[in-house]
Amino acid sequence: MDEEQSVIETENQAEEIKESEKTESEPIKRSFISRPKEDLQSMYEQKSQEKKSGKKLLIIIVVLAALLFGGYFAVRSITQPSPVTTISTPAPTPAPTSQPVLNRSDWSLEILNGSGVTGAARKIADQVQILGYLVVKTGNADKDSYPLSQILVKKELESQVELVVADLKDIIKIASVAGELKEGTASARIIIGKDSI
């Protein structure tokens, strides 16, 4: 019997607990039911706005954190350059080279007309002599149809021929060094072509 009575008591206690819960939740249910529809809607909107403002705040915090993090590394990379290893080798000092010096009085020239224009050799010879060159011969070349002016030079003066060509560029356009001058007493022979007229 004791067992039956304890089971009955337990069942009674369970029913009492259910009754008390029912009576406690009744006012809450009644308050929801008794509230007007607008109040419920405004409560829903308020909760929704709170959620939205929470999301906005979270986004702002994330963006600020990213900016600060990125700014830190940007400033750090500017203020602390990465080390650069340089290997310094001394620049080679060029060996002194003796620049050939043009001495016009050392040159004796033959000036021959290969252009077919009468008096061209004499005209150029006069201008060359004014510069200080010695003109030992003027006349006509073996033909009068040279398209370009050229120069032939004694072997011992070949190293300086470019200096002479550069020195005479305002008077005569010497297109090429035609070779070695083997006969005669002159240092060089200039053949005037049609390009210098």
142-172 tens-digit pLDDT? 999 999 999 999 999 998 999 999 999 999 9
- To the nearest whole percent, how much of the chain has pLDDT over 90? 39
- Multiple choice CATH, 104-196, 3.30.70.2390, 3.20.20.70, 3.30.300.30, 3.40.50.720: 3.30.70.2390
Give which of 105, 106, 84 is closest to 157, Cα–Cα.
Answer: 106
pLDDT at 23 over 60: no
- The residue among 32 and 131 whose pLDDT is bigger is 131
User: What pLDDT score was predicted for residue 123?
Assistant: 95
Q: Which of 13-27, 129-143, 146-160, 165-179 has the lowest mean pLDDT?
A: 13-27
Q: pLDDT tens digits, residue range 67-120?
A: 777 777 666 666 655 666 666 667 677 666 667 788 898 899 999 999 999 999
Banded pLDDT at 61 (limits 50, 70, 90)? confident
Rounded Cα–Cα distance for residues 2 and 196 (Å) = 145
What are the boundaries of each domain within the chain? 2-77, 104-196
What tokens were used for 146? 């040279």
User: What pLDDT score was predicted for residue 15?
Assistant: 73
Give which of 155, 104, 176 is closest to 190, Cα–Cα.
Answer: 176
User: What pLDDT score was predicted for residue 142?
Assistant: 94
Mean pLDDT of 125-140: 95
Q: Taking the complete model, does pTM exceed 0.75, yes or no?
A: no
Q: Which of 36-40, 41-45, 92-96 has the lowest mean pLDDT?
A: 36-40
Determine the straight-line distance between the first and last CA of the chain, rounded to whole angstroms: 150
DSSP the chain: -HHHHHHHHHHHHHHHHHHHHHHHHHHHHHHHHHS-HHHHHHHHHHHHHHHHHHHHHHHHHHHHHHHHHHHHHHHHHHHSPPP------PPPPPPP-------GGG-EEEEEE-SS-TTHHHHHHHHHHHHTPEEEEEEE-S-S--SSEEEEE-GGGGGGHHHHHHHTTTT--EEEEEEE--SSS-SEEEEE-GGG-
Rounded Cα–Cα distance for residues 124 and 117 (Å) = 12
- Kindly compute the dihedral angle of the four CA atoms of residues 159, 104, 118, 183, in this order, to the nearest 10 degrees: -50
User: What pLDDT score was predicted for residue 140?
Assistant: 96
